[in-house]
Amino acid sequence: MEGRPFSHSQSNMATLDQNGTLMNHLAAHGMYTQRNVPQRFAQQHPIPAQSRQSLIKPQQQRYPQMSSTSSLRPRPAENRKDVFTWTVDEVVNWLCRNCSGDISARYSQSFRFHDINGRALMRLDDEKLERLGVDHPNHRYELLNEILKQKLRFHEQYFKKAYHSAQPPNVSTRVPVMSNSVFGRRDY
């Protein structure tokens, strides 16, 4: 039986498979997940409807309904604080909200120790994260992705404010401008 993952004999394995309890045996020993169920096995041994219903979790458990006064609700863009004015505590809160639990648990103290405020957060790159102690490349990648998303949100907010604050020109006094661009003639 050397080299085999189980200490069962061939006949015992066949009995387990025929009775449909092989998956239960594997699951009991931590060797089975839902992802590695062979299609043929799933067709030969369908799960009874009662068991299937107990496997399905209600939506309410996964996504609890939130009240209208919840603080987790996204704030309108006008009320959001500029990321460049964030304090160290706000950066750590952002880290906990947007990054995986492993990353926020590992690096929140480092962000506090190095006084990473909003302005410093926006200037972080791969090399600076490595100097902060973020040694794992996947962690740096996830952090840089979240920082990039935050930069995009900031720029979107900035341009929306600029667009809404600019007064549109008066249509009656507007002079048509013609352009002979490389891409063709355009009227503005």
The residues spanned by each domain of the chain are: 10-42, 79-165
180 sits in which H/E element: strand 178-181
User: pLDDT tens, position by position, for the chain (188 residues)?
Assistant: 444 444 444 444 444 444 455 555 555 555 545 444 445 545 555 555 554 444 444 444 444 444 444 444 455 544 578 899 999 999 999 999 999 888 989 999 999 999 999 999 999 999 999 999 999 999 999 999 999 999 999 999 888 888 888 766 555 555 555 555 555 555 55
Smallest Cα–Cα separation from 97: which of 68, 73, 125? 73
Q: Which of 109, 106, 98 is nearest to 146 (CA)?
A: 98
pTM across the whole model: 0.48
Q: Which residues contact 115 (CB under 8 A, 6 or more apart)?
A: 88
Residue 166 amino acid letter: A
Cα 177 to Cα 186: distance, rounded to the nearest angstrom: 8
- Fold of domain 79-165: DNA polymerase; domain 1 (1.10.150)
Greatest Cα pair distance in the chain: 93
> In the block, which residue shows the tokens 């068991």?
51
